[in-house]
Structure formats: structure tokens, C-alpha cells
Amino acid sequence: MHRPPTEDARSAAAALLFRPKVFRDVRRWLERLGVPARDRDDVAGEVWLCAWRSWPTYDPEHARPERWLNRIMLHVCSHYHERASRRREVLLDEPLDVADPAPDALHLLVAEETRLGVLDAIDRLDLHEREVLVGHDIEEIPIGELVEELEVPMSTAYKRRARALAALRELVEPWEKE
């Protein structure tokens, strides 16, 4: 009859395994097993992830903790080498010339002109319509709060917003045709 491992035995095994020296040992073992330096951290992480997943089933009565971890590492390492043999990566000696994703000066200038133009168009709107449009669409105040603040009916606030959007569209449309 097999009895379950005691918590003391499991605690002692955990204290033996999960310490900085063993983390360094795993990296050194992986180096000896031919895992390139560029992949060593990833493979070591996979070893520890597998160890963490299988820890609930570990029985200190069957194997010393180092042997148990060593078997996991060999298993992960063999899968790494298996996948590496099918990998079709092309490593370049020179870095790729990637376009800078930041906008250039012309785009920044056009964006600023557009922003200033929209602000100017908003300033041309009727005061009551502008209040609702700026409050709701720019400052993101819910219509319910605007209604209370402006002391107008809900339908009036929605009508003012609709008129403001229509007027703004008319002011902005000529720019879109340019």
C-alpha cells in the first residue's frame, strides 16, 4: 500500500528546489545540453513552468527533487531540440531597415492645422449648441448631467447637439474636398 507524501517531505523538497542556486544550475544544465544562449532563458522558463504544473503530483518518496527536476528539464530540452530541427528561421547579420512609424513634419503640420480648424469651427457655433456639443462629445459629460447643469429638457439638449453636429459638418466639409 502506497501512502501519500507528508507535507514535511514536500516542504523540504520545495526548499531544496526553489532557490537561486538551482535556477542557475538549470541554465548551466541547458547549456551542457546544447541549448543556445539566445533561447536558454525561454527554455529554462518552460522547465520551471512544467515543474510548477506537475508539483502537485510530485512524490518525494519516489525520487529526489533534483532528479525529478532533471527529468523535467531533459523532457523540455528534447522537445526544444525537436522543434528547433524543424524551425526555418533566417537570421540576418544586419538589422532590418524599418521605416520610422512616427509621423513626419508634414503630417504633424497637417494634423495641427486640422485641429486648429476644427476648434475655430466649434467657436463659430451657436453658444447653446456649442455648450452641448463640447460638454457631451469633447468633455464626455453624460447628457443627463448636461441637462441638469443647463436646466433644459432632454429633448432640447439632443436637438442642440444634432444642430451643432450638422453645422460643424457644413463648416468642415470644404476642407475634405481640398
Report pLDDT digits (tens) over 4-36. 556 777 788 887 777 888 888 888 889 888 888
What is the structure's pLDDT at 157? 92
pLDDT above 90 covers a percentage of the chain that reads 18
pLDDT classification of 111: cutoffs 50, 70, 90: confident
List the chain domain ranges: 7-86, 105-177
Mean pLDDT, the chain, whole residue set: 84
Question: What CATH number has the domain spanning 7-86?
Answer: 1.10.1740.10
pLDDT of the residue at 1: 45
The CATH number given to 105-177 is: 1.10.10.10
Cβ-based burial of 152 (10 A; exposed 0-12, middle 13-18, buried ≥19):
middle
- Mean pLDDT of the region 131-159: 91
pLDDT for 41-79, tens place per residue? 999 989 988 888 888 888 888 888 888 888 999 999 888
